[in-house]
């Protein structure tokens, strides 16, 4: 989104209808939008925010719903109890129920909570009272502290290297909460940070939040200091004596993978305690209502459509439903070209095992269907399409269809490719054109079409392009093929740099000798039909004896996605060849003169 668009949106303040709700002598300032006859959506902020956090979210929600935000006790225009004990989660949950009953006495409310607003909504939905008062809950950047305390207990009791890494990482991210327990010192620090300009600059520095999007109350400095009571009244008590309970309230948990304060690993055990759970992981930061308000609003609207039976489940919400423990990459939408066999099929199966939804494309529609069937057997949702990646217009139309039907993909694997061996001078123009159209132009088209969608959506993604060890292993017998794959390698490296600011990763995979059916279908320029067939059969047998199977490449692809790796040589010859070409290219040139096809 352009800076001008951000600035224009921040200038449009909601025309709130103001009110008050009293709970146990504490006055809570409320702010309403929309038709009160519609279902009510209750917006609950965290530290150090007020109802202003929802400035960019509430107006769109109010087009369909009765929207109510309120300043939690100790913040904004609400009362500020002086006792630390007044900020315990049970008191805050009582406030939530009091507001819900006042603004929607006859119907249960839908709650969207952020940060501490999410934390104390977890307390509310864990009570039996929630069954009649809370219809659904969208949790953003805020864990259930009882769940977290129980998770830490279990991991400390049975530590593994992964558990220890997660504990160490979260402890580092949460170190500020220890500071907040101290007397006086945090108060002094927050007096400086509580200047609105300083706070906006802080959010920009830690998460890239556009300052124009941050709307704060005049009481920001006072809110920061009063809000320290949230940490002092709850953190130690809940982590040391957790009381996790099961909730039957439908929950959408939005997990921000770049959250500076809360690591995704802390949500591991949520499915144990949430009977109706959806989860959406995105490469976004903590202050999602400021950084990506439209994306968050779309998620909330799609989730509410399911909960109110006011529309068909949106694809993003439909694939976010969790029925058991979350899997790596669960809920991601993946597009794979050349998915009918070999590396494409094995990659599809590997990602199906991780809970992804798959859009599988291949020139051979039957093989794409077969891959889709295998993925469905593995428990994944899969859709098969016929696609010729060399048809630029057709590929672009396919990308538009994916977006309309399934949504913007989170991961794209441009895998489709063909081979061409033999001398460059012997190849026909038609062979050269077909090779470059499929291997290079197809990758470029897929990367551009889906990359634009990812950039426009604004919450990141990942593109994987399949190159080859031939990209850095020159050979007199593979010059044209090497050229096409070298183009993929350098294009991918450049695209990675271009898309980094949008948090879109680009990985290029460079397999060596892998036993796939590409060898048996590779034309060899300059040979008659009989010699070409005999040479191809010898090569095919050699690749089979080599025994490096496509599933091992698929494993490297998944690892590249999870680790956002840039260049991944696969097989020992690829790894050696990559280093020789980088550090001793003259050896590569000597090897290139050998009369070997393959």
Q: Report whether 353 contacts 429 (CB < 8 A).
A: no
For 507, the 3-state DSSP assignment is: strand
Give whole-number Cα distances, 302 to 55, 61, 307, 459, in Å.
19, 11, 9, 17
The CA distance from 412 to 515, in Å, is 23
Distance from the Cα of residue 19 to its chain's centroid: 38
Among residues 88, 139, 527, 97, the alpha carbon closest in space to that of 303 is found at 139
Distance from the Cα of residue 72 to its chain's centroid: 30
For 156, the 3-state DSSP assignment is: helix
Give whole-number Cα distances, 555 to 93, 250, 298, 348, in Å.
45, 34, 33, 11
Question: Helices 365-377 & 342-352, crossing angle to 10 degrees?
Answer: 30
Q: State in Å, rounded, how far the first CA of the chain is from the last one.
A: 47
Q: Report whether 432 contacts 379 (CB < 8 A).
A: no
For 356, the 3-state DSSP assignment is: coil
Long-range contacts of 578-584 (CB under 8 A, 24+ apart): 578/469, 578/472, 578/510, 581/472, 581/473, 582/472
The CA distance from 237 to 245, in Å, is 16
Is residue 481 part of the annotated active site? The answer reads yes
Distance from the Cα of residue 511 to its chain's centroid: 27
Q: Report whether 390 contacts 440 (CB < 8 A).
A: no
The CA distance from 14 to 31, in Å, is 10
User: Which residue out of 70, 87, 295, 481 is catalytically annotated?
Assistant: 481
Among residues 52, 7, 28, the alpha carbon closest in space to that of 199 is found at 52
533: phi then psi, degrees, rounded to nearest 5? -65, -45
How many Cβ atoms are within 10 Å of 395's Cβ, its own excluded? 24
Among residues 505, 537, 508, the alpha carbon closest in space to that of 520 is found at 537
Helical spans, DSSP H, in 241-337 = 270-273, 288-291, 293-307, 315-318
**Which residues does the annotation mark as catalytic?**
481
């Amino acid at each position: 989104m352009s800076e001008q668009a951000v600035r224009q949106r921040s200038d449009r303040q909601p025309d709130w209808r103001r009110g008050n709700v009293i709970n146990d002598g504490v006055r809570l300032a409320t702010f309403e939008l929309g038709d009160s006859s519609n279902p009510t959506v209750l917006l609950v902020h965290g530290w150090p925010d007020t109802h202003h956090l929802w400035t960019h979210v509430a107006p769109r929600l109010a087009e369909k719903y009765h929207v109510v935000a309120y300043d939690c006790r100790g913040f904004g225009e609400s009362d500020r109890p002086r006792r630390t004990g007044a900020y315990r989660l049970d008191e805050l949950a009582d406030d939530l129920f009091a507001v819900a009953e006042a603004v929607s006495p006859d119907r249960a409310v839908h709650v969207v909570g952020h940060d501490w607003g999410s934390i104390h909504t977890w307390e509310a939905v864990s009570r039996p009272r929630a069954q009649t008062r809370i219809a659904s809950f969208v949790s953003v950047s805020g864990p259930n502290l009882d769940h977290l305390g129980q998770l830490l207990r279990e991991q400390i009791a049975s530590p593994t290297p992964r558990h220890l890494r997660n504990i160490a990482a979260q402890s580092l991210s949460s170190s500020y909460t220890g500071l907040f327990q101290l007397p006086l010192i945090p108060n002094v620090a927050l007096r400086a940070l509580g200047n609105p300009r300083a706070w906006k600059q802080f959010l920009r520095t830690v998460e890239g939040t556009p300052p124009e999007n941050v709307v704060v109350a005049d009481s920001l400095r006072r809110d920061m200091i009063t809000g320290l009571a949230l940490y002092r009244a709850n953190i130690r008590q809940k982590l040391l004596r957790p009381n996790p309970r099961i909730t039957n309230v439908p929950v959408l948990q939005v997990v921000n993978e770049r959250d500076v304060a809360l690591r995704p690993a802390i949500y591991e055990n949520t499915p144990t305690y949430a009977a109706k759970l959806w989860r959406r992981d995105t490469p976004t930061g903590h202050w999602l209502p400021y950084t990506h308000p439209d994306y968050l609003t779309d998620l909330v609207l799609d989730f509410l459509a399911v909960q109110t039976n006011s529309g068909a489940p949106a694809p993003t919400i439909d694939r976010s439903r969790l029925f058991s423990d979350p899997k790596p990459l669960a809920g991601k939408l993946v597009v794979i070209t050349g998915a009918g066999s070999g590396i494409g099929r094995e990659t599809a199966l590997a990602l199906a095992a991780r809970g992804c939804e798959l859009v599988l494309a291949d020139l051979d529609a039957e093989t794409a269907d077969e891959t889709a069937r295998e993925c469905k057997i593995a428990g994944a949702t899969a859709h098969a399409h016929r696609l010729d990646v060399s048809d630029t217009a057709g590929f672009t139309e396919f990308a538009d269809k994916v977006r309309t039907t399934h949504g913007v993909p989170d991961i794209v694997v441009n895998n489709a490719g063909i081979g061409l061996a033999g001398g460059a001078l012997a190849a026909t123009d038609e062979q050269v054109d077909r090779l470059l159209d499929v291997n290079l132009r197809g990758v470029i088209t897929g990367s551009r079409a889906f990359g634009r969608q990812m950039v426009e959506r604004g919450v990141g993604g990942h593109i994987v392009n399949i190159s080859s060890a031939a990209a850095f292993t020159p050979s007199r017998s593979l010059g044209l093929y090497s050229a096409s794959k070298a183009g993929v390698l350098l294009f991918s490296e450049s695209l990675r740099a271009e898309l980094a600011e949008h948090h879109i990763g680009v990985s290029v995979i460079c397999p060596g000798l892998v036993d796939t059916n590409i060898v048996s279908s590779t034309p060899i320029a300059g040979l008659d039909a009989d010699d070409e067939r005999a040479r191809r059969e010898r090569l095919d047998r050699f690749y089979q004896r080599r025994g490096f199977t496509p599933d091992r490449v698929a494993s490297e692809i998944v690892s590249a996605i999870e680790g956002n790796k840039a260049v991944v040589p696969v097989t020992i010859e690829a790894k050696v060849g990559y280093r020789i070409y980088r550090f001793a290219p003259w050896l590569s040139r000597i090897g290139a003169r050998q009369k070997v096809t393959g």
